[in-house]
Structure 1
Amino acid sequence: MTNEISIVSSNKFMGLADGNLLNWCPTLNLITVTMNKMSVWVYRLNGERIYSVNNKSPITAITFMKNGLYFCLAGIDGKIKIFDSNNGKLIKILQSDFNQVKLINWNFHIYKSYGKFDNLFKVDVLDFLPLISLNEEIPTSDINEINNNSNDVNFLIIVDSKRLCITFNNLLVVDDISTNLKGIEFKHHLDNNDLFNQYFLVETEDHKDQLLQWSIQVKHKKYLVDIIVKICKIINILSYLESQLQFCQTKVKPFIQLYDRYLSNLSDCIEGEDLTVYLFDLLLTNLIPENTKDYWLNEFGERGYKRLNKLGTVMYDSLRNVMFVQIIACLERLCILLNDLHSLSKWLKDSDPQESFGLNPLMINDLLIITKNFLKKVYKLIWEINKEQELFNNFIEWIKTEIIEKISNDEPVGIPIVKETDIISYLNGSLFNSKIWDYINLDLSNNDILTKQENPQLLPTLLEQLTKEFRIKLLQPISTFFRSNLKFDLINLPINLSTNSKLHYINENFSIITSFSKSSPTSLSLLKFSYEDPTQAISSQLEFQNEIINYQVYKDQVITLIKDENQSYQIVKSNLTTLSSKIIPFPQLSNPQNITLNAEYGCVLDSNRQNYIVFKY
């Protein structure tokens, strides 16, 4: 960082900027500002607006993931929504509804070596599996997450008026966490990259700011992180499996509807005669009744043959592709993850039963059995639809050559080119009771001919059972563990904090609390504390010649906006390590108020909430 600043742009926000929230994306040089209280507009450095997000509810908080990939909005409607930072696309809405969100913040847990032989025998089998293939018709974001074998953990902390909630990797939600402390209000959260040791600034009942520490006292920290990662991956896989089964329904339904319409029209032509008997007579006698010739030649005809043949081919090929490339690949990953958790839970139970994180190897083994049965069922489906497609192709070819072409040519066709035994097998089985119906959930209540009874072995039913058992046997135990082992303690600091204190990350060892009061408007109080022992905090002061309007901290740098006796504004850049400061000339704004920083740039917003300046410092 230099001792000078350079102006990158001086612009005016177009629209009714309220200026309530002004932020930088941590990794992308994008400025975000709230507009009309309900929207976020995103700008480049040069003032170009690249997209906007309408939250459809007044926004109360915004936070970015540290890698800048996503940002999160909280609204007074109680919804927490996650968006892609690159394009503003809505990624997810958290299932829980919140009441008066007080604080949201995203943090990463950075792995630390907790033991000498942590990774000695670590082999991640998922790294050796082929990636799941992408398909233009299938959502790719979920596939990309499943193909991602990263063991990183990010966690989104949400505090509302009643509870504290942690969401790991946007998937695993630990809700309804109680601090067991009465009369405190959460104000700031520290991003210190350590799940097991987190800090908050809170306001107590006597209207004083204090430091609050949460801690998770466990010996096997590495294993707890591994468990969280694996459970998140399982949640993602289960969600993806559900979307793929729904995709299969969209491929089956058009074919079944068209097929039913053609068969229903044929049934009307034969005037109450049993449709199966009619088709068998047609096959065995090779004689086409006069009252159905018009149907075969005109109502069905070459066009009907092509449509049905095309839809059938698409359906069978799509099912086979999704089952093998998507669903089987996901279930194999699921088996690996459950096996890992089962082995780890057995080891913990045998070596240290007091710290098993609530996992039960017998319960995990039950999940593994259900998953393996699911996998067998999918392989059986692939086998059966291969045979059914072959029979369908013979049947549709028989209709074309032995019925449609015979009527149109008005002469004997000769020796049939399809096997009668295959046609008989199709008429006796798959035509009116497709094997697909035993696996894929379809609503055939509006069909006239192709209807079925509910089958308890449907794949969606098996998935629902697996998901339910997963919630009971894995999610609930790990959530219960967090609720019971997360401890909150107020830290006795050597000095009292003012009510406008802020909490800032400096490095992996230290953080700092800053505050200033109207009674001493030219002084910025600093309280530096270590994570190992926050009670041994060191206080210091940054003194300025003029009144502090606002300030921001980025690591060990403080950028302070001050107003001198001539009512003009300046920027002072200070170093928290050396406590040295330098006044930097700054272009005049009428009444600058808000300031925000990232690693390279700062943004100052005027009180009119329109004019702003971007500078590099």
Structure 2
Amino acid sequence: MEEIYQKPLPLSAPEENYQWCPTIYLISGISANRLQLSVFRVNSQKVWSVSLKSEIICQCWRPDGKIIAVSLKDGSIRLYDGNMGTLMYVIESANNTGGPTASFLSWPNVKQIKSQSSEDSEPTLQEKLEKFFDFNLAKGLPKLTPLNNTDTVFMNKSLQDEDKYLTQDNTLNYLLTNYNNVISLSLLGFFQIASLVKFDSNDVILHHFESDDLSTLYFLYNRDGSTLLKQISLNFLKQRDIVNLGLSYSKINSLIEYVNQVLKQLHHETKPYLDFNHKLLDLLKEEIISSEGDETGISLLYGLLLTGIMHPCLKTWITDYLGDKNIRRWIKLAVNCYEGNKKSLFSHLLPCLERIIVMLDELKGSTTPLTKQQLQKLLSGCTDLLQKTYLFIWKINHEQRLFKYFIEWLDYVLLEYTTDDTPDMEIKTKEVTEFLTNHLTSSVMHAFLDDLSSLQNTIRIDMNTITASFVEELKVKTDSKDFPLSITLPSSTLYSTNDSETHNNLKTIVLTNTPDALELISINLITADVQHRHFSFPMSVISYMHYSENSTFILASDGQATEFLKLTSIESSPIQLSRFSGDEFIPTSFKMTHKNEAGFLIDSNRKKYLYFKLK
């Protein structure tokens, strides 16, 4: 064993608060108060950290190290970019009031799913022709640009770099969650197969793992004093058309959320201008009330425009409240609002809606008759939203032109009454009248944005209905069976296994019945037969991990010294990798990565860790 270096643990927290990234040299740690998640390099240099308002229950790295998932006490699950720490997506709890809490998270670390349509046999001429003429219009559309004012960035990242975050054949897309003994399968939070399997409230789940292609999930659990193996068949994951359909639904859901974020951004960009309009009109109204008048501000502006007669209240408002400074500010807010809205509509909303329509149109021929009807309704809703967006752009241009003439007239009036000069300009009476009548107190942007948001909400509800129907179809294709084991496993024991390995349909777990002995139990995942291998040690076993088919790592101590051992299927006795004694570093536990047989020995008493590689 090659010792690379020793470092102090980066946080003052228990060792169970740390997890090591499976593929790259990063460490994630939960603070002692469980309100902060931090990621460090193995040399203790901090990469990023994030503070949370709810306590962190557990964390789990995706096997490729690109995403880390954390379960919070409020019931939500948050997905963070492993390198940058940016929040990618939030899987909300089924109970919006908080809880139940996900007690474990698991990214399946298995081989690629081999679909039933991709066997090794030579494709037929018909299949070759279909592939040749298969033109995916959606892939030819330009990528969407990122949004700035969003709480999460996942829809931006996934739509810009789909190969990085969503892949058709890669099971890294799937996240298992357990809410109070109810197992759900989530596709990166876009949609969940909720309540995939329900255990009884008194059942104790001991361990879970999966087959190499994720076609079957396995759960070891205790019920009424007996240990059972539950097999959950997910054969639908082998059907390419179902997987593709699920990914398409996921992307459409992401696009609909993107539309929602664009509309929120438009509301945000519009608010300062509309608020300033109302503020100025309220000042004019207060001036009229203070003079005990019964006119409205709009009627006074009409009178000035048509007769040239200035009412005293209006003169005070223009000269004292409005003035040149506020006119310039009004112009600036209007330009930011109108131009910002048009930019967001052209750069974000229109391309996104066009992409949704193309994807929905491509889906019409690949679903059940019931879903076709639902998809047609969804397609009509998106088309209506697209048409209203184009109309909205025309309305914005029209109102912006009217505002220009209105503000020029106000500027003319201000100069006329505050200077000796009489400006020479043509007043666009018709346009100013239209702005006063239809736009000053009720901008088209307010009404149109509310209308667009209402349409988007209808589309979201329709898509949720389609997704829910799809999930129910998947549940129907799921089969669950229970097999009793010939032994009863204790519920209080820590079970150690390398979740990425299943060999010859055998799954090996490790448990300790006595302090100086290990039991390697191999379970046949087809027949539920059990094989035992018993090992005794002259020292007490304090930590262990079944790493692969041929190797189990053990940390044992006699109180004077601690040894790090490797047990193989070939050797009858363990191989000593390293021995520790004295006061400098005494490991109390260890972690192994799934890459290059590297790992970390942890001294929880001295708050240190030792990074090593096996030769």
Indicate the TM-score class for this superposition, using the shorter chain for normalisation: 0.7 to 0.9
In the TM superposition, 1:201-216 aligns within 5 A as: 201-208=220-227, 210-216=228-234
Counterpart position of 1:223: 241
Q: Which amino acid aligns with 2:257?
A: S
Compare 37-46 and 125-134 and name the one that shifted more: 37-46
- 1:372-393 CA-to-partner distances (Å, cap 9, x unmatched) read 1111111110111111111111
Q: 1:338 aligned to 2:360?
A: yes
Letter in 2 for 1:425: E
1:585 is the counterpart of 2:603: no
Query: Which residue in 2 is equivalent to 1:432?
Result: 441
SS at match of 1:188: strand
Shift of 1:368: 1.1
Task: Indicate the SS of the match to 2:146.
Answer: coil
Match of 1:298 in 2: 320
Deviation at 1:312, TM superposition (A): 0.5
2:161 maps to which residue? 148
Counterpart for residue 611 of structure 1 = 608
Contact 2:497 2:510 in 1 (8 A): no
Aligned 1:519-558 pairs, distance under 5 A: 519=514, 521-525=516-520, 527=522, 534-535=526-527, 539=531, 541=533, 546-547=538-539, 548-556=541-549, 558=551
Mapped contact 2:113–2:238 kept (Cα < 8 A): no
Deviation at 1:176, TM superposition (A): 2.7
Cα separation, 1, equivalents of 2:296 and 2:264: 34
Amino acid at match of 1:114: Q
Give distance in 2, aligned partners of 1:8 and 1:387.
Answer: 69
Pairs within 5 Å for 1:12-411: 12-13=8-9, 16-36=12-32, 38-39=34-35, 40-52=37-49, 59-75=56-72, 77-96=74-93, 97=95, 98-99=99-100, 101-107=102-108, 110-116=112-118, 120=131, 122-134=134-146, 136-137=148-149, 140-150=153-163, 151-152=166-167, 154-179=173-198, 184-190=203-209, 192=211, 194-208=213-227, 210-218=228-236, 221-269=239-287, 271-289=293-311, 292-346=314-368, 360-400=371-411, 402-411=412-421
* Structure 1: gaps spanning 5 or more residues: 350-358, 442-457
Contact 1:199 1:212 in 2 (8 A): yes
State whether residues 181 and 199 of structure 2, in contact with CA within 8 Å, keep that contact through their aligned partners in structure 1.
Answer: no
What displacement does 1:477 show? 0.8
Question: Could you tell me how far apart the structure 2 residues matched to 1:564 and 1:298 are?
Answer: 85
Give distance in 2, aligned partners of 1:389 and 1:564.
Answer: 79
Look up the SS of the partner of 2:144 in the other structure: coil
Structure 1 residues 397 and 604: CA distance shift in structure 2, 3 A: same
Q: Which amino acid aligns with 1:249?
A: H
Q: Retained in 2: the 8 A contact 1:100–1:161?
A: yes
Secondary structure of 1:571 counterpart: strand
Q: By how many angstroms is 1:75 displaced?
A: 4.7
Deviates more, 1:253-262 or 1:301-310: 253-262
TM-score by length of 2: 0.83
Q: How big is the shift at 1:572?
A: 2.6
Pair 1:344–1:292, CA change in 2 (3 A): same
- More deviation, 325-334/425-434: 425-434
Secondary structure at the counterpart of residue 78 of structure 2: strand
Q: Match of 2:162, SS?
A: coil
* 2:429 paired residue among 416, 420, 427: 420
Could you tell me whether the CA contact under 8 Å between 1:18 and 1:37 is conserved in 2? no
Deviations 1:447-478 (A, max 9, x none): xxxxxxxxxxx111111212222222x12212
SS at 1:343's partner residue?
Answer: coil
Displacement after TM superposition at 1:420 (Å) = 2.8
Opposite residue 438 of structure 1, the aligned amino acid is A
- CA distance in structure 1 between the partners assigned to 2:408 and 2:285 by the alignment: 20
CA distance in 2, matches of 1:364, 1:306: 49
The letter for the 1-side match of 2:107 is W
Comparing 282-291 and 232-241, the one that deviates more? 282-291
Q: Does 1:10 align with 2:22?
A: no
- The 1-side partners of 2:570 and 2:100 are apart by 40
- Kindly tell me: are residues 514 and 391 of structure 1, through their superposed partners in 2, closer, same or farther at Cα, counting changes over 3 Å? same
How many residues align structurally? 579
Would the aligned equivalents of 2:174 and 2:185 in 1 still touch at CA under 8 Å?
yes
Q: State which of 482, 488, 492 in structure 2 corresponds to 1:490.
A: 482
Amino acid across the alignment from 2:15: G
Task: Determine which structure has greater relative contact order: mean sequence separation of CA pairs < 8 Å that are 6+ residues apart, divided by chain length.
Answer: 1
Contact 1:179 1:487 (8 Å CA) reproduced: no
CA–CA separation in structure 2 for the residues paired with 1:610 and 1:219: 44
SS at match of 1:107: coil
DSSP 3-state at the match of 1:360: helix
Of the structure 1 ranges 149-158 and 231-240, higher mean CA displacement relative to structure 2 is found in: 149-158
Which runs of 5 or more structure 2 residues have no equivalent in the other structure? none
Tell me if structure 2 keeps the 8 A contact 1:603–1:613.
yes
Per-residue deviation, 1:15: 5.2
Distance 2:55 2:323 in 1: 59
Could you give the per-residue CA deviations for residues 263-297 of structure 1, whole angstroms, max 9, x where no partner exists?
Answer: 23334556433434433333334454555334323
Classify 1:162/1:202 alpha carbon distance in 2 versus 1 (closer, same or farther; 3 Å): closer
Q: Residues 370, 197 of structure 1: CA spacing in aligned structure 2 closer, same or farther, 3 A cutoff?
A: same
Q: CA deviation at 1:45?
A: 1.4
Report the more deviating stretch, 405-414 or 492-501.
Answer: 492-501
Who is 1:479 aligned against?
Answer: 471
* Secondary structure of the corresponding residue to residue 81 of structure 1: strand
- CA drift of 1:580 comes to 9.5
CA distance in 1, matches of 2:205, 2:134: 39
- What percent identity do the matched residue pairs reach? 20
Shift of 1:190: 2.1
TM, length-normalised to structure 1: 0.83
CA distance 1:284–1:578, shift in 2 (3 Å): farther
Is the CA contact (8 Å cut-off) linking 2:67 and 2:80 kept in structure 1?
yes
Contact 1:592 1:607 in 2 (8 A): yes
- Paired AA for residue 146 in structure 2: L
